Amino acid sequence: MTRYAMVIDLNTCVGCNACMAACAMENQTPVWKNKWRTYVHDKEIGMAEQVRRRFFPRLCNHCSNPPCMTVCPTGATYQRADGIVMIDPERCMGCRACAMACPYDARYEVSYHDIKEGRAFYGEEELQRDSPGMDKCSFCAHRVDKGLKPACVETCVGSARLFGDLDDPNDPVAQVVASGAAQPLMAYLGTRPNVYYINDMKRRG
């Protein structure tokens, strides 16, 4: 079996936002309203002299136990055998129950207006999406199916993003996760996310 996952090294993320740009061009996201499939936060964490600034890339966590899939009334949200959580745009009715259920704020709405803007922004012929509904990161499933890496991983300047198969013991991603060096977000919720972060707790400034 294959179980795709991503590891993000917060030590090497420099906050250049190249991943956001690559993702936007690859997946034609509605950037005009500041909606992205992946987003690099400028984050401050800690208190007093312990406070740290951190660039913190976020995206859909492709949970093994995805609450967005459970709540979706029409089954528009589904999970592939390789673990990638997808949205069937033909089944989505935009009820936003998935956004309500997602603890990672990974989902956003695409409207008729966005489709119209998208035609102007990305090109009349080039725009792949013609139907409004909910949207989120798909781990670039269309690229993965061709043996390519997701656009954000491909373009990352500091190689902060690693993409691989958790079920392959020889895959670097599986090895990093198995070592315990990388941790998922909010594991206490029981969603079993498949995006892991290598902490940068020793860095200051």
Task: Report the interface residues with other proteins, using CB under 8 A.
Answer: 33, 39, 41-47, 56, 58, 67, 69-75, 90-97, 99-103, 105, 107-114, 132-134, 185-186, 188-191
Q: At 66, list the tokens.
A: 């995805």
Cβ atoms of 173 and 44 within 8 Å: the answer is no
C-beta closer to other proteins: residue 18 or 99: 99
**Which residues, other chains included, contact 146 with Cβ-Cβ below 8 Å and sequence gap of 6+?**
none
Cβ atoms of 198 and 182 within 8 Å: the answer is yes
Rounded distance, CA 5 to CA 163, Å?
A: 6
Smallest gap from Cβ 118 to other proteins, in A, equals: 12
> How deeply is 45 buried, as exposed, middle or buried, from its count of CB atoms within 10 A (0-12, 13-18, 19+)?
exposed
The amino acid occupying position 197 is Y
Smallest gap from Cβ 172 to other proteins, in A, equals: 26
C-beta closer to other proteins: residue 17 or 175: 17
Smallest gap from Cβ 72 to other proteins, in A, equals: 6
Smallest gap from Cβ 62 to other proteins, in A, equals: 15
C-beta closer to other proteins: residue 30 or 164: 30
Smallest gap from Cβ 195 to other proteins, in A, equals: 13
C-beta closer to other proteins: residue 95 or 141: 95
* Rg for the chain, CA atoms, rounded: 17
C-beta closer to other proteins: residue 51 or 148: 51
